[in-house]
Structure 1
């Protein structure tokens, strides 16, 4: 849900959720007891990113929201303390402080969500909320991890990244990133109980449980991963968003190029919703030590070919990242200098012929200091997917 200009509200607990939360807490305490005699060791890392952005909105957007040209400045400070309790147990936290200044109120589709559809708890707070300045802080990761001889278990808000695609990940059921979101640096954490069982070299089974506020909305999934000849392959399945999911992914080499693909088929139990197929197929090639290229196609059966049937509400609440069915992304990265890299990408909606060009130029001052200049140039007719997106120019450092 989106609440960029209002304080958060306390969440309520049903009896069954209190029951589940108690048992998850007990599991967490058991993990701590397993390493009660271990010598604790702290690690600390993090980063600071400043992202000034100039945006020129299309006339059809500015006529509605009176925001033709907007300047934004987004500052993110992420702190990553980790407590290691021996070699097999750790407790990790990633806490982010965000400050957003804007010269005008943003249209709804440019506002950020407080809580994703994979987060059980609302851990975002707003110390300052003014018309043009918002300061928030939130917990994006908070989990306990323990490794056994036969596997590992992780409890809490964590990152799970499934799939082999470079641009889209149909098998990533947890929070895939929209390719148009150049300001997104991290995948959102998901509130999960996950376990991995080691079955052999390059073979394992992952089980994931995602509690939600309503019992009928609980999610669960598995991923079996292995290796066949020169290919990494996996099989995924589960129950997500009231849909039965079955799919898989692969990655390997086709002669001297990289070949990857993934997909799912979803059988919906939601009234009035159709079953759908979603898949990607990608190819990348390193022409020289300096030039890398990528092409990736996505079929999004959850979308629509007719722009008049686009589900903008689902895009706004974060349940989908694209509206149409067929997409093609092309990218080239080139090393201009050992410290300077350039990138050119083009994403095209093959159904309504809208799209965007992304340009990047980055310079590494030192090992941990980088400055990037980028642009995102969108095109499309009225009511096309990318016809509503602004032209953007930004610095990132």
Structure 2
């Protein structure tokens, strides 16, 4: 009932707080139909799942300085994945302070989940921009491993959630000029723990840089920074963060997280992209539950799950204006595991796309007693409106 009261209050306030001339509301979204298959260790056991995924996005500017945004995703699950212990419960788990996720229908062969992952007010005037509510706070600069992303971690393997999760936060941004700004973000999670941080973004010649510091989930003090730039057509990106646990501050060694990536676009439209990551933290994942990256990607922080050196390489190529192909490979040294991925996107019509996705995981160390070989296959039809 608390969740419904929150949504009702937002609607009432949005109609009464503003007396200025309103603009026409914005509305968009898409519908996905995706069929997937999974096998572990490539044996005779095959599992399937079907997801009908509908996303609705609303935007409304009731006044010159005010704006309201909301995003809702509805997903209808069916198939063998529902037999996995705790799978249905994880779909209803909301990591934000406001519990805005519902399992509306939870039966043996079907699960209907509704999640509100965007719901925030924006006040913007002069050099100031203030946001309050469930929003996306993306401080990461690299593509795969984001040491600076304190608020909205996500999994590289979650290809079907392009919007990425949001957090319940207050965000205040001050723009010094066209290329530099400073901001403060304070967020609450479902455990009522506070994450608060400050970031400053600026530009030096051809490079953008940022520095940040804060407290994450009341557990770690974090300080770090990032840079992006271009040298002779090569785009460079890097992030670095140092974490120190607060419960043993100054008495234990800190945690270093760093990532560096580069990409280059050739004249024939082929783009090469690579990234490396180093993390000296002991891995909290094991080979037994590496598939959590795929089965529950929104809560899997890939940065903290792995340790030591890790690397990924990707190739993108559009043979035609309608067809796009990509290959990716990843080596996770802390888990002695490799990943290979393939994506084919084809535009059937202006707003209708068809995709085929393949993901394969395998261990590469024969001395490890646990042998993981897992393959996921997906076929997706997407209509945008």
Taking structure 2 as the reference length, the TM-score comes to 0.84
Q: Aligned runs of 1:107-126 on 2, under 5 Å?
A: 107=84, 112-117=90-95, 119-126=96-103
Corresponding position of 1:38? 21
Deviation at 1:134, TM superposition (A): 0.5
Using the TM superposition, give the Cα deviation of residue 32 of structure 1 relative to its aligned residue in structure 2, in angstroms.
7.0
Larger displacement relative to structure 2 (242-251 or 272-281):
272-281
Deviation of 1:267 after TM superposition, in Å, equals 0.8
Show the counterpart of 1:237: 213
**Equivalent position of 2:299 in the other structure:** 318
**Cα distance 1:133–1:165, how it changes in 2: closer, same or farther (>3 A)?**
same
- Shift in alpha-carbon separation, 1:49–1:324, aligned structure 2, 3 A: same
Whole-Å separation in 2 of the counterparts to 1:84 and 1:76: 27
CA, structure 1 residues 108+347, in 2 after alignment: closer, same or farther (shift >3 Å)? farther
Superposition deviation, residue 256 in structure 1: 2.1
Which residue of 374, 377, 380 corresponds with 1:393? 377
Evaluate the alpha carbon distance shift between residue 387 and residue 255 of structure 1 in structure 2; reply closer, same or farther with a 3 A threshold: farther
Q: Post-superposition shift, 1:116?
A: 4.8
The corresponding residue for 1:137 is 114
TM-score for the superposition, normalised by structure 1: 0.82
Match of 1:53 among 10, 19, 36: 36
Q: CA deviation at 1:274?
A: 5.4
Q: Distance in 2 between matches of 1:31 and 1:169?
A: 38
Contact kept, 8 Å, 1:114 with 1:122, in 2: the verdict is: no
1:195-227 Cα distance to aligned partner (Å, 9 max, x none):
101112211111101124666x21111110011
* Maintained 8 Å contact 2:136/2:152: no
- Give the corresponding residue for 1:257: 234
Question: What do the CA deviations read for 1:10-61 (whole angstroms, capped 9, x no partner)?
Answer: 79xxxxxxxxx9xxx99x969974x4223242111111112110111227xx
The question of 1:280 aligning with 2:259 is answered: yes
Aligned-residue Cα RMSD (Å) equals 3.3
CA distance in 1, matches of 2:35, 2:367: 28
Deviations 1:72-113 (A, max 9, x none): 111110111211123432111111111111135454697745
Deviation at 1:253, TM superposition (A): 1.1
User: Is contact 1:234-1:249 (8 Å) kept?
Assistant: yes
Aligned counterpart for 1:228 among listed residues 190, 204, 215: 204
Q: Which runs of 5+ in 1 are unaligned?
A: 1-8, 12-20
- The answer as to 2:327 corresponding to 1:344 is yes
Structure 2: any 5+ residue segments left out of the alignment?
none
1:118-146 deviation per Cα after TM superposition (whole angstroms, max 9, x unaligned):
x1021111221112311111111111111
Q: 1:334 to 1:319 in 2, by over 3 A?
A: closer
- Greater shift, 386-395 or 286-295, is seen at 386-395
Partner SS state of residue 319, structure 2: strand
Matches within 5 A, 1:1-397: 33=17, 35-58=18-41, 68-107=45-84, 112-117=90-95, 119-212=96-189, 217-241=193-217, 242-270=219-247, 275-304=254-283, 318=299, 320-321=301-302, 322-380=305-363, 388=372, 390-397=374-381
Contact kept? 2:285, 2:306, Cα under 8 Å: no
Asked whether the 8 Å contact 2:91–2:103 carries over to 1, the reply is no
Is the contact between residue 167 and residue 189 of structure 2 (CA under 8 Å) also seen in structure 1?
Answer: no
Q: How far, CA to CA, are the matches of 1:109 and 1:284 in structure 2? A: 39
The 8 Å contact of residues 157 and 191 in structure 1, kept in 2 or not, is answered as yes
Whether contact under 8 Å (2:257, 2:278) holds in the other structure is yes
2-side partners of 1:264 and 1:114: how far apart? 31
- Please state whether the residue corresponding to 2:24 is helix, strand or coil: strand
Task: Give the conservation status (yes or no) of the 8 Å contact 1:307–1:324.
Answer: no
| Structure 1 residues 106 and 343: CA distance shift in structure 2, 3 A | farther
- Corresponding pairs, count: 365
